[in-house]
């Protein structure tokens, strides 16, 4: 998962550009037979896999051990924007693209638009749908096609400093956003700390808050029609909430994933971090000296008694339509993220938070007790949270532009402690104008 997403404007054309792969017998119209699969996996084949996951060669080695005729070359061509720029360039050039590529969920539609991904349904991918949390599967298969295999997810929760909240007279994590606002004032008044930070450039975090609130800012029909609704009434309620806390100086607006932000997590400037399931491990390395002081809880809720969350981050492995070996490529993408041993390695060695139900139900994963979080079973907490993320959330096929304009509109207003709700109107207008200029019909 890319923690910080690069922002760039990407020109789009509403035409397909890539043929379906078929070098080992695959097509996008006929189901692959067991005989074809067996032949492909036993034929000497070279595959290329582009990914930024450290040490994923360990999982690839398991695949190669099971299928010794297949040789996989793993390449890290960059993370975030650099990865996608090189991938698009290779596809446009008609050469140099990998067989399998890691793709974050929000960017899948842009590759679907250009017909750059192989529909994995004929290869049997629809048969593993029930092995993943429903909302994660919907990210790779919003309609009948399956465009990738889920790899990791980022259901959101609340990491907080128990000692700082206790000093402010708060015994438990706030259960509602009203409770959170009251706690923010108590923490600031009694300790001088901010209860958390809202990074001005993190569109993913704000969109995650909207996701939790039930906002559907984007829709896409897989063809030429998009829905853009970033400034509806509920979105503005979320925006007003954060505007009030920021303007009361109860929430800081430091640029996150910066030196100042890292120091703030370690020195108690922030008494918490509203983050995703990848956050607990990340925080342990960033604020190692505070081990034992942190606790984890679900996000505060908009209505008391609810259990709803959003998602921030996560990625999948997709097969490129240009692959000359689509059957073997699909089997690689599936194996890495579906084979039980491989999926457990991703979760326990690379610390990618899993969407696979087999891992989310495995005691070796969910029963782990974390000393950093006072002995809590943090994996189990986020496994429970995973079941509360709305299934129907979608993206538009120009998320690079969405993120870049977020920084220009919402991000600058957050940094200046201005009116976020008013900035949503500007963001809406820019996105609609861009979509129409690219030939989309906007609903």
Q: Show pLDDT as tens, one digit a residue, over the chain (443 residues).
A: 333 333 333 445 443 333 334 445 334 458 999 999 999 999 999 999 999 999 999 999 999 999 999 999 999 999 999 999 999 999 999 999 999 999 999 999 999 999 999 999 999 999 999 999 999 999 999 999 999 999 999 999 999 999 999 999 999 999 999 999 999 999 999 999 999 999 998 999 999 999 999 999 999 999 999 999 999 999 999 999 999 999 999 999 999 999 999 999 999 999 999 999 999 999 999 999 999 999 999 999 999 999 999 999 999 999 999 999 999 999 999 999 999 999 999 999 999 999 999 999 999 999 999 999 999 999 999 999 999 999 989 999 999 999 999 999 999 999 999 999 999 999 999 999 999 999 999 99
Q: Alpha-carbon distance 51 to 84, whole Å?
A: 11
Whether residue 228 contacts residue 283, with contact meaning beta carbons closer than 8 Å, is answered with no
- Specify the length of the chain in residues: 443
pLDDT of res. 22: 44
Report which secondary-structure segment, H or E, holds 225. strand 225-228
What's the rounded Cα separation, in Å, for the pair 271 and 192?
A: 10
Radius of gyration of the chain (CA): 22
Per the CB < 8 A criterion, the answer to whether 374 and 290 are in contact is: no
CA dihedral 414, 419, 424, 425 (to 10 degrees): -140
- Identify the pLDDT of residue 29: 59
Domain 34-153+314-361, architecture per CATH: 3-Layer(aba) Sandwich (3.40)
The CATH number assigned to the domain with range 156-311+370-442 reads 3.40.190.10
Structure tokens at 374: 């006072």
- pLDDT in the model for residue 425: 98
- The answer to whether residues 56 and 322 touch, using CB atoms and an 8 Å cutoff, is no
Q: Where in the chain is the domain with CATH 3.40.190.10?
A: 34-153+314-361, 156-311+370-442
Q: Could you count the other beta carbons within 10 Å of the beta carbon of residue 204?
A: 26
CA distances from 405 to 9, 100, 230, 437 (A): 9, 30, 12, 15
Closest CA to 156 of 348, 367, 357, 390: 390
Which pair of structure tokens corresponds to residue 22? 């078929």
Q: Provide the whole-model pTM.
A: 0.92
Q: Is 272 helix (H, G, I), strand (E, B) or coil?
A: strand
pLDDT score at 30 = 84
Integer Cα distance of 236 and 273 in angstroms: 22
Q: Is-contact 46 71, C-beta < 8 A?
A: yes
- pLDDT value, residue 7: 34
């Amino acid at each position: 998962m890319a923690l910080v997403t690069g922002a760039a404007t990407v020109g789009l054309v509403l035409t397909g550009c890539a043929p379906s792969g078929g070098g080992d017998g695959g097509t996008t119209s006929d189901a692959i037979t067991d005989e074809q699969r067996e032949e492909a996996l036993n034929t000497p084949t070279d595959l290329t896999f582009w990914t930024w996951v450290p040490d994923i060669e360990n999982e690839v080695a398991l695949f190669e051990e099971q299928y010794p005729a297949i040789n996989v070359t793993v390449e890290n061509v960059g993370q975030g924007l650099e990865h996608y720029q090189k991938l698009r360039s290779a596809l446009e050039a008609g050469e140099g693209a990998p067989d399998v590529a890691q793709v974050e969920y929000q960017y899948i539609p842009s590759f679907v638009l250009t017909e750059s991904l192989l529909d994995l349904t004929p290869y049997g991918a629809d048969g593993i749908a029930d092995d993943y949390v429903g909302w994660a599967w919907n990210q790779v298969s919003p309609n009948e096609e399956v465009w990738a295999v889920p790899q990791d997810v980022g259901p959101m929760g609340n990491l907080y400093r128990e000692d700082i909240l206790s000093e402010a007279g708060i015994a438990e994590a706030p259960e509602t956003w009203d409770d959170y606002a009251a706690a923010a004032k108590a923490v600031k008044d009694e300790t001088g700390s901010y209860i958390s930070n809202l990074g001005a450039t993190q569109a993913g975090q704000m969109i995650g808050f909207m996701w939790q609130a039930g906002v559907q800012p984007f829709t896409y029909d897989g063809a030429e029609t998009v829905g853009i609704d970033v400034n509806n009434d509920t979105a503005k309620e979320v925006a007003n909430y954060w505007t009030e806390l920021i303007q009361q100086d109860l929430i800081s607006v430091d640029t996150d994933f910066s030196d100042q932000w890292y120091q703030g997590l370690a020195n108690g400037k922030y008494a918490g971090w509203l983050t995703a399931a990848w956050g607990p491990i990340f925080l342990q390395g960033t604020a190692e000296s505070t081990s034992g002081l942190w606790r984890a809880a679900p996000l505060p809720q908009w209505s008391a008694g609810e259990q709803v969350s959003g998602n921030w981050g996560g990625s999948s492995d997709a097969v490129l339509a240009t692959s000359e070996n689509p059957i073997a490529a699909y089997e690689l993408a599936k194996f890495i993220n579906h084979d039980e041993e491989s999926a457990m390695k991703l979760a326990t060695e690379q610390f990618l938070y899993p969407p696979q139900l087999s891992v989310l139900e495995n005691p070796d994963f969910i029963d782990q007790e974390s000393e950093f979080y006072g002995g809590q079973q943090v994996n189990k907490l986020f496994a429970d949270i995973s079941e509360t993320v709305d299934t129907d959330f979608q993206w538009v096929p120009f998320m690079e532009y969405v993120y870049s304009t977020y920084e220009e509109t919402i991000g600058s207003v957050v940094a200046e402690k201005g009116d976020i709700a008013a900035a949503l109107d500007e963001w809406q207008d820019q996105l609609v104008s861009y979509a129409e200029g690219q030939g989309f019909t906007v609903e």
